[in-house]
Chains A and B, each alone.
Chain A
């Protein structure tokens, strides 16, 4: 017998993915059920099994799935896990909203190509540009599907969209037209892949989303931000317009400050929205950070980018104490207590 972990210890390591309150309740039972499936009662055979076998990939995936559902909790979950679940769901919706606004812009270009809107520039033709427009439209559908709680459609479509985006970036890289491979692959990872994976938070226990505010946010963002920006760019004032990452930093900073005023004026909520803003700030900050190398040749733009990051960091710092509050007092829901 050497000091290596045996099958039971290996499985217990996998179970560490589960929250502690859940392990306190179920771990021994899960280990017993797991080993029942492996052991035959023959001491020699069981000894070999315990020493050399490992939990199968399917077993590990099932525990990962359970851990995701528990840690990104829904209705009935302990407070801190419910807060994380809600914050991740809100953050995913926030990123999807940003994607959908971009898709709405692509739709406007399409309308222009059909002579429905006269003053917009015509879209560029060809397979890859058209794929890019299709990706934009698809993000709108993903956003709406999430709001309608059609999570399966949203997930399947998101996988297809991210796949198409990866193909598009790969094509540009192979064609040698990718200005900054690091930045472009970074975008795919941060604003496509990560939110797609985080859609795991939209499970059956997830409470319904309040649709109306999110639905109103889509045209509001487009009309109040995207259209004025487009107008400024077309009228030759684009030197004053921050790029997409910069606009997201500033917009999120403004939202953080508004939320901080609400929280500090004595109307604190559950801390979920502060946690949401913290997550969105992490995504947006990373988005800004990985795009900075594209400004390497322009120190002025580099300074502007850093200033946007600083503004975002200061603004988000005002909601951090409230976000921390959402993680306190982890109560155990009914159902778990009854089984103890």
Chain B
């Protein structure tokens, strides 16, 4: 799973979001490291929906335009949890190799 897909799935973990809502949430989750452009976002969304990891939730009118909201599917939630475990295990191995222990090292993972 790419970093972008990981953050998009994470952005949808606590509830449905529309396109720009996902962009904003990803910026916040990644502490500004991942700034998705719209073309990249929809490349990720269309791949995740084709893989059955996300699905449309509902549509809302806003300023005369329809915002489509997306949500995680059960498969998406499972895939995200597995990816989070994998990344946490990898981070643990790296910290151990670097001799980093303690809460400040744990907090730096991500």
User: Inside 8 A of B56's CB, which chain A residues have their CB?
Assistant: 339
Q: Which of B37, B49, B62 contacts A338 (CB 8 A)?
A: B49
Is B50 part of the contact surface with A, judged by Cβ < 8 Å?
Answer: yes
B66 A28 Cβ-Cβ under 8 A: yes
Stretch at the interface among A58-66, A191-199, A302-310: A58-66
Is A76 part of the contact surface with B, judged by Cβ < 8 Å?
Answer: yes
Q: Which of B40, B41, B49, B62 contacts A339 (CB 8 A)?
A: B49
Chain A residues engaging chain B, CB cutoff 8 angstroms: 22, 26, 28-37, 39, 58-59, 61-66, 69, 76, 205, 333-336, 338-339
B49 A335 Cβ-Cβ under 8 A: yes
Is B19 part of the contact surface with A, judged by Cβ < 8 Å?
Answer: yes
Interface of A is mostly: helix
Q: Which of A31, A58, A64 contacts B65 (CB 8 A)?
A: A31
Q: Can you give 7 contacting A-B residue pairs, CB < 8 Å?
A: A26-B46, A29-B19, A30-B38, A58-B37, A59-B37, A63-B38, A65-B43
Quote the shortest CB–CB distance from A339 to chain B (angstroms).
Answer: 6
Known: A29-B19, A32-B19, A33-B20. A66 touches B42 (CB 8 A): yes
Q: How many B residues, CB 8 Å from partner?
A: 23
B38 A37 Cβ-Cβ under 8 A: yes
Known: A32-B65, A339-B56. A66 touches B49 (CB 8 A): no
**Whole-angstrom CA separation of A64 from B55 in the bound complex:** 25
Closest residue of B by beta carbon distance from A14? B39
Chain B residues engaging chain A, CB cutoff 8 angstroms: 18-20, 23, 37-43, 46-47, 49-50, 55-56, 62-63, 65-68
Closest residue of B by beta carbon distance from A65? B39
B50 A334 Cβ-Cβ under 8 A: yes
Known: A32-B65, A33-B20, A339-B56. A63 touches B50 (CB 8 A): no
A32 B39 Cβ-Cβ under 8 A: no
A66 B20 Cβ-Cβ under 8 A: no
Quote the shortest CB–CB distance from A96 to chain B (angstroms).
Answer: 26
User: Inside 8 A of B47's CB, which chain A residues have their CB?
Assistant: 205
Closest residue of B by beta carbon distance from A76? B50
User: Inside 8 A of A59's CB, which chain B residues have their CB?
Assistant: 37-39
Q: Which of A31, A36, A66 contacts B40 (CB 8 A)?
A: A66
B20 A37 Cβ-Cβ under 8 A: yes
A69 B43 Cβ-Cβ under 8 A: yes
B37 A62 Cβ-Cβ under 8 A: yes
Quote the shortest CB–CB distance from A69 to chain B (angstroms).
Answer: 7
B65 A35 Cβ-Cβ under 8 A: yes
Quote the shortest CB–CB distance from B61 to chain A (angstroms).
Answer: 10
Quote the shortest CB–CB distance from B92 to chain A (angstroms).
Answer: 27
**Whole-angstrom CA separation of A182 from B96 in the bound complex:** 59
B66 A66 Cβ-Cβ under 8 A: no
User: Inside 8 A of A339's CB, which chain B residues have their CB?
Assistant: 49, 55-56
**Whole-angstrom CA separation of A103 from B41 in the bound complex:** 40
A30 B23 Cβ-Cβ under 8 A: no
